[in-house]
Structure 1
Amino acid sequence: MDFTRIKPHPDLDEFIECYWMMYSNESVPIVEKIIPDGFTEIIFNYRDVYKSKTSGDWNLQSPNLMAGQLKTFFYLQNTGTTGSVAVKLKPAALTQLFGFSMDQYVDKIVDLDSLSNSKLKQLKERLLAYLNNVSSIKEHFVKSILDDYFALLIQNASKNPLKEPLELIFSSHGLVTVAEMVAIAGVGERQLERLFKKYIGLSPKYYARIIRFNYIFKLIKSKKDSWAEIVYQSGYYDQSHFIQNFKAFTGEDPSSYFFEKINMANFFLNK
Structure 2
Amino acid sequence: MEFREIAPSNILKPYVACFYLFKSDEDIAFDDIVFPSGYMEMVFNLGQGIWESSVGDTFVQTPRIELWGQITGPLAIKSKGKHEMLGIRFYTHSAAYFLNDEIGIFNDQVYDLADILGNPVKNLHALLLETDELSERISLLENFLLKKVEAVQKRSLKIDKVADILNSIRKDVSGNNIEHVASRHGITTRYLHKLIYQHTGLSPKSFDKINRFQRSLKLIARNEKNLTSIAYDCGYFDQSHFIKDFKSFTSVTPSAYLENKFPVNQVFQQQ
TM-score by length of structure 1 reads 0.89
Deviates more, 1:239-248 or 1:4-13: 4-13
Q: 1:10 to 1:263 in 2, by over 3 A?
A: farther
The question of whether the paired residues in 1 share the 8 Å contact of 2:69 and 2:107 is answered with: yes
Gaps of 5+ in 1: none
SS of alignment partner, residue 29 of structure 2: coil
Aligned to 2:126: 128
Checking the alignment, whether the CA contact within 8 Å between 1:37 and 1:268 is kept in structure 2 is no
* Amino acid across the alignment from 1:77: K
Partners of 1:23 and 1:91 in 2: CA distance: 25
Q: How does 1:7-26 map to 2 (within 5 A)?
A: 7-26=7-26
The offset of 1:256, in angstroms, is 2.1
Is residue 2:30 matched to residue 1:30? yes
After superposing the two structures, state which structure 1 stretch, 256-265 or 47-56, moved more: 256-265
Structure 2 residues not aligned, in runs of 5+: none
Q: Deviations over 1:183-218 (max 9, x none)?
A: 233210111111122101121111111111111123
**Cα offset for 1:263?**
2.4
Distance 2:86 2:173 in 1: 28
Paired AA for residue 144 in structure 2: Y
> Per-residue deviation at 1:155?
2.6
Provide the C-alpha distance between the structure 1 equivalents of 2:225 and 2:212, rounded to a whole number of angstroms: 16
**Given the alignment of the two structures, is residue 105 of structure 1 paired with residue 103 of structure 2, yes or no?**
no
Runs of 4+ in 1 over 6 A off after TM superposition: none
CA distance in 2, matches of 1:173, 1:15: 23
Q: Within the alignment, does 1:41 sit opposite 2:36 as a pair?
A: no
The Cα of 1:145 is off from its aligned counterpart by 1.7
What whole-Å deviation, never above 9, does each CA across 1:112-150 have from its counterpart, x for those lacking one? 2222x35xx42442243132x24xx33322222222322
Residue 60 of structure 2 aligns with an amino acid whose one-letter code is N
Q: 1:251 to 1:11 in 2, by over 3 A?
A: same
| Distance change (3 Å), C-alpha of 1:259 and 1:40 | farther
Q: SS at the partner of 2:127?
A: helix
* Identity, % of aligned positions: 23
Amino acid at match of 1:141: E
Mapping 1:50-199, distance limit 5 Å: 50-115=51-116, 117-118=117-118, 121-131=119-129, 133-134=130-131, 137-157=132-152, 158-159=155-156, 160=159, 161-173=161-173, 175-199=175-199
Match of 2:209 in 1: 209
Alpha-carbon spacing, 1:184–1:124, altered in 2? closer, same or farther (3 Å): farther
Q: Indicate conservation of the 8 Å contact 1:50/1:60, yes or no.
A: yes
Matched residue SS, 1:257 = helix
260 and 107 in structure 1: CA distance in 2 versus 1, 3 angstrom threshold: same
SS in 2 for 1:208: helix
The alignment covers a number of residue pairs equal to: 265
CA drift of 1:89 comes to 0.8
Deviation at 1:169, TM superposition (A): 2.8
CA separation in 1, counterparts of 2:81 and 2:62?
A: 13
AA aligned to 1:69 is Q
8 Å CA contact 1:173–1:212 kept in 2: the answer is yes
Q: Which range moves more in the overlay, 255-264 or 66-75?
A: 255-264
1:237 aligns with 2:232: no
Distance in structure 2 (CA, Å) of the matches to 1:174 and 1:7: 30
Given the superposition, is the C-alpha separation of residues 259 and 74 from structure 1 closer, same or farther in structure 2, using an over 3 Å criterion? same
53-62 or 11-20, which deviates more = 53-62
Separation of aligned partners in 2, 1:39 and 1:59: 22
The AA in structure 2 aligned to 1:102 is: I
8 Å CA contact retained: 1:175, 1:235: yes
What amino acid is the match of 1:191?
Answer: Y
8 Å contact kept, 2:66–2:113 = yes
Q: Which moved more, 1:18-27 or 1:28-37?
A: 18-27
CA deviations over 1:30-51 (Å, ceiling 9, x no partner): 1121100000011111223311
